[in-house]
Amino acid sequence: MDIPLRTHATTQDRAAPLRYSRTWDTGVSSIAEARDAVAALLARARPTPGRRPVQDAQLVVSELVTNAAKHAPGPCALRLELLPDATALRISVTDTSGEPPRRRPPDPRRVGGHGLHLVAMVSRGLEVTWLSQGKRVTATVPLVAPAGG
């Protein structure tokens, strides 16, 4: 007996934030994949953020995931959460290193070591949460211009 498939309309809870998460067992296979995840998630946001905030969020993801892959052995994870009304994107990267992220002194002649300065410039701070095996580094990237700004 064939039973026809039915399409059921569902109402989506507008208060529920859009989220994305990904875990890599050993290191990160593709930083580009993490940047693509940001673009895909923000394309679903309403209101849709402008090009610059999307690029800022991709920069932050790229820097935090690259640091995890470079400095922490073993698994790492990425979590993206769009805050209500698409005002900001919370980006969290979990890794197995017990070392905190460190900003190096500015040196325009040095190649590399500028990522955390860039993250600080485009996000609302950097928060480190210590876990039983490593840490979670979280940055919140604004997606709309501040009121009056």
Answer with the residue of higher pLDDT: 25 or 35.
Answer: 35
Inter-CA distances, 110 with 81, 117, 120, Å: 33, 13, 19
**SS3 label, residue 103:** coil
**Residue 7 covered by a domain:** no
What pLDDT, on a 0 to 100 scale, did the predictor assign at position 108? 78
The pLDDT tens digits for 113-144 are 778 889 999 999 899 999 999 999 999 999 98
Is the pLDDT at 12 greater than 60? The verdict is: no
Q: Is residue 2 part of a domain?
A: no
User: 18-23 contacts: CB < 8 A, separation 24 or more?
Assistant: 18/44, 18/45, 18/81, 18/82, 19/79, 19/80, 19/81, 19/82, 20/78, 20/79, 20/80, 21/77, 21/78, 21/79, 21/80, 22/77, 22/78, 23/75, 23/76, 23/77, 23/78
Domain holding 122, by residue range, is 19-142
Residue 147 lies in a domain: no
Say what the pTM is: 0.82
pLDDT at 39: 96
Tens of pLDDT, residue by residue over 54-90, are 999 999 999 999 888 888 877 889 999 999 889 999 9
Q: How many domains does the chain have?
A: 1
125-136-65 Cα angle (round to 5)? 80
Q: Tell me what pLDDT residue 84 has.
A: 86
CATH number at residue 63: 3.30.565.10
- The answer to whether 77 and 28 are in contact (CB under 8 A) is no
Q: What is the pLDDT of residues 98-107, one digit of tens each?
A: 998 888 887 7
Q: Which of 41-45, 49-53, 116-120, 138-142 has the lowest mean pLDDT?
A: 116-120
Query: What's CA 134's distance to the chain center, in Å?
Result: 18
